[in-house]
Structure 1
Amino acid sequence: MPDYAKIFTYQVDGLSYTVSLYEENGTILADIAVTEGSMDVNAVYFGDDDFSGKSASLGGPLNMNGASLDGEKVQWDEAIELSRPGIGPMGDDKETYLHQGDTLTIDLGVDSLDDIDTFGIRATSTSTDAGSIKAVSSDPEEPEEPEDPEEPTYEKVFFGWDFKDDDSPLSGRWILDQAPDPNPYQADGLPEGTEPTFENYLDYYASDPVWGDVDLLQGVVFYEHDENGALQELFRFEAPEDGFQSKEEVMDAYHDALDAYEAEQETAGTDLLAALSLDLDETTETEVEDQSEEEDYDYA
């Protein structure tokens, strides 16, 4: 779906639609989508919120005479003819005839979305009682920018240069989310106020204070403390056979490992729910059997 910048809406009995504006390769486009009813879109009109000056008009059956907004006559900056009124021999197959769920994309031929504050549609053969519309929409919705997903944070990360035969850390750099206080062993911690995301850990590892080269890495391990304070490994990833050549390669390997870890956690959670459900079913079945045996027992 395009990244819409402005969305105009219009609704009357029997018909509703949206006009969504966006820019693509330097061209300003509009997606006209019918959400209820149907209409033959014959012309579109648009302009800014300044209604002074001469108004653009197509005249004849495609005019917007009498169209107003909050009781004020609209002055249009641009008008574009899309088709002549009447569906003709093509019927519903006419390119500008839209049913519910249909979308028509048009090039508005303007340089900037900032110049479009009001949008009008002249349509005939509509599903309204009047049969045609001179519709005016303003106050477009400006969709909010989607929020970036929140990055996971970690308590401790080991940047490993070498590992023992049992895969436990042998040599490398340990970095904490914050250096302990006091810090008798001079443990490395992220600079104060730094969010402990892996990208920040990696930047610090490769920075001057640590002097960690990515081409030394054989693997990276992530840790957190459990409820008893014991350090537990979350997941890890290994370097490719020829090693890492850049921080970008390390980040790519991290995201692959994180996706696999999250998928494993989701599967484990689903399995746990299924097991709990099975245990509950077995317990309920046993209780029913016990109750049945009690009912069959002759106490006389």
Structure 2
Amino acid sequence: MHQTKKPQMFEILSATHVTFDQLHETMLSSFSDYAIPMQLSLGAFEMMMRQRGLDLHSSRVAVVDGQVAAIWLTSVRGSKGYLISSGTRPEFRSKGLARAMANDCLDYLRSTGIRSFQTEVLRDNETAAGLYYSLGMTKARALDCYTLPISQASKPGSELFEPVYWRDLAPRVAKLRDWAPSWQNNDASMEAIADQLLCVAMIDEGGELKAYAAVSPNSGTVHQLAVSKDYRRRGMARAALIAIQRQLPETPLRLINVQQDDAAFRALMTSVSATETSGQYELWLDL
């Protein structure tokens, strides 16, 4: 006698109910077949969560038969919420898990006074984007990503940059920028991993910060790069990148989430022979 297979039931829980190792393992499984696989070591996963501010209370997991089948990992800073990462194991997809986690999380955020929610999505990830749009999220801006080749060439100007600590830069960087860094690159995220950052800066004789860059040495990710308006068009941004490359000679640099409409930054990327990689959209939802 043919028996109808019983549909799997799932439970949505706060991420406080599972271990960090379970979150990590679920991410590995969920991203194993993505266009850009995210196979992070446990240490790299911990750093990612630390940098972006993982909040276990607002984060959600979907559990099926005792197994974590999907994750929705979020951060909360002030009145803002942010989706760090979400993923569903391949065998549990198309069962409504992501939507259930999202709705439960957003309800929780609203109840605790959070006023906005944001994330980024790869421009060609139509499945994820479709979910976010259905939740009411809209495009806030387009963000470009680049990789830079390893360069051994000596360029003038890089000698003007000196190593500095993030804590000494932090109070002064905002006035150099024309646009706000994305969540993973903003000042709060830099503060969270300040002990892991390599920073270089050019400071004039009067003690004024004129240009700086902040990078994660292990990944080569340049999180922030800016030059004061009165020092632009002098090759200072390029010199900052060369100063970093001199300290990380075997590490290709990459820049993630550069605001697309910054024509000067695009010109800089061309001048350093950068390769554009998969870009993202920053999405926003008022709660």
Give the TM-score category using the shorter length: under 0.3
For the pair shown, the structure with the greater C-alpha radius of gyration is 1
The TM-score normalised by the length of structure 2 is 0.18
- Which structure has more helix as a fraction of its residues? 2
The TM-score normalised by the length of structure 1 is 0.17
